[in-house]
Amino acid sequence: MKNNTPRIDVTLDTPNVLRTDGLCFLWIGRLFVLLLLFGAKSYAAQAELIVLSNQESSISLAGKYTWFEDESAALTIQDISSPAYSDRFVTGEKDNLNLGYTSSAIWLKFKIQDNSYDSRRWLLNLDYPLLDQIDIYQSMEDGRWSLQVMGDTLPFDERPILHRTFVTGLDLDGRHINTYYIRIITNSSMLIRPTLQSADSFFEYQSQLQVFFGVMYGFMLMMALYNAFLYLAVRDKTYLVYVVSVIAGGIFIASLNGHGYQFLWPESPGFANMAVPLTSSIWIIATALFSQLFIETKRYTPLFYKLINIMIGLGVIAVLLALFADYQTAIRFSTAMGLINGILILTTGVVSWYRGNRAARFFTLAWVVYGFGSTTLVLSRFGVIEDNFITHHSATLGLLVEIIMLSLALSDKYRVLSQQLEAYTHNLEQKVADRTRDLRKANKVLKQLSQLDALTDLPNRREFEHVFTDEWKRHYRSQEPLSLLICDIDEFKYLNDHFGHDKGDECLRKFAEVIKSSMNRTADHPSRIGGDEYAVVLPETDLAGAAKLADDICESIRKLGITHAPVASHDVVTASIGVASLIPEKESDSIKLFRKADKALYTAKHQGRDQAVIAE
């Protein structure tokens, strides 16, 4: 078959082709640069939407928030949320943002879509306790912004959640995307470590972390007390200076971790602001003095003895700056002094060891460990290296190891004294253990007594309120009916007035015995809530079951045949009972059930007494 397709012959002129290709490459290059610029602009302005779901309990914010540095520290939420600044935010690629020391205000922005559809509560944690001012803005449906203020310049009890770091619950609306802006300004290192966790996940993790801190502080306290006893026994001031250094170091670490503000000075924001530079400066002085005494610098290294004296003088200046200068000046000076002090003491230990001072072995190794930890912390605070769990707690871990090793060094130097004091320490520990055991037993007895009514041996009003509230919350979760009986001895005052208080007390005890014997389940909880009033909490019991039990109690009281006062309405003592039952609709609305039962009780009184009335 003949091919009818027309043939086209093309002849290329090589120079023209090169010129054309060159122009093409030029335009392609320009287009590529433009795409990069627009892409970078888009990348800087956008971050991934944070979507909460039932399957997650912790959300990494890496790549899901943007941030902007306001060098003037004067921009408002209206300024920063305007289109003029929308493309100036930079995406945060890591879980934390470490900018070192800066006077700028840092703005964070992120958006959350809540698709969890359950009752779990989500918490935002800015996991660095030394931030001065934190303003959290949340978008509202009417276009306005809600504001929550936190920071270590405010009293501790003003925090939404009383925690060593800055934690707040998120009021999320699943119907739309929730936009958040966070403005942070601080004189301390600008370290921002935002995390999103469900409340259960957060408190579970924090409980584990508290074990770590508890062991650390406990060990420091134990070392301080142990060496304080040694000082009292041998009167060697080396032990005393060691104790001061441990206490100062412990308080310094507590200040860094937020425990100082939480437990030691929660009502003193001013002192909280100076605590870190002040305690670190005191620690510098104490460690310098300890090094002079322990490795005998005047004997082995006279030059370093003089240099350490200068360091002690600089430490005193650091203390004065912490007390009277602004925070940033004080913290920068004390941080620099801490580095110099560590290097000087480490060098002193090495030289002393080299010159034959056997005691300098453990001392030098201890300062190698702490020097590494503190240097790591300082570099992370200045933003030189990445902040993570290890670097964040490097000084804490380094100090803990240093304390252990210095204690070993003291033991190595004063082994004989330790042997002499061993028996004394053992006896003291045994006394503490015995006293603690006795105290626990006494506390257990006191707790039981505080929960019982002395006359009837029934749980008292306080225990009733505790059980009633807990059962209400449990039934709110299970959506089972919770019933309540409120019982009252009819015209008890007449009985007391006519027969005397002994007869009245006997009646109260018999009434309590009837109620206790009427309980069919261990879960049922009778209580004496005051005077001649009793209450019975009936878990997972409907209204019919509660009413049947109330009628039985009324009948049993009547059958006791306790003679009543002549002026009473009945010949024998009777009871009136209010019966109510509800399936909880709100977790904190238990008073509603109590009021219904109480109202039914007074209805029974008005209808002639000696009966159980069901609440409407």
Which residues are annotated as catalytic?
532
CB-based contact 550:577 (threshold 8 Å): yes
Q: Which residues share a beta bridge with 534?
A: 487, 528
Residue 62: Cβ-neighbour burial (10 angstroms; 0-12, 13-18, 19+): middle
Q: What is the 3-state secondary structure (H, E, C) of 16-82?
A: HHHHHHHHHHHHHHHHHHHHHHHHHHHHHHCCCCEEECCCCCEECCCCCCEEEEECCCCCCHHHHCC
Cα–Cα distance for residue pair 201/124, rounded to 1 Å: 12
Tokens describing residue 298: 């005047």
Cα–Cα distance for residue pair 599/346, rounded to 1 Å: 77
Question: Cβ of 334: how many Cβ atoms within 10 Å?
Answer: 27
Cα–Cα distance for residue pair 525/469, rounded to 1 Å: 12
Cα–Cα distance for residue pair 568/494, rounded to 1 Å: 7
Tokens describing residue 426: 């053992």
Concatenated DSSP letters of 506-533: HHHHHHHHHHHHH--STT-EEEEEETTE
CB-based contact 365:407 (threshold 8 Å): no
Cα–Cα distance for residue pair 112/49, rounded to 1 Å: 6
Determine if residue 151 is left, alpha or beta; phi over 0 gives left, psi from -120 to 50 gives alpha, anything else beta.
left
Q: Which residues of 273-303 are buried (b: 16+ CB within 10 A; e: fewer)?
A: bbbbbbbbbbbbbbbbbbbbbbbbbeebbee
Cα–Cα distance for residue pair 509/327, rounded to 1 Å: 66
Cα–Cα distance for residue pair 17/23, rounded to 1 Å: 10
Helix (H) or strand (E) holding 292: helix 269-294
64 φ/ψ angles, rounded to the nearest 5 degrees: -115, 5
Residue recorded with tokens 């009033």:
533
CB-based contact 169:160 (threshold 8 Å): yes
Tokens describing residue 264: 């030691």
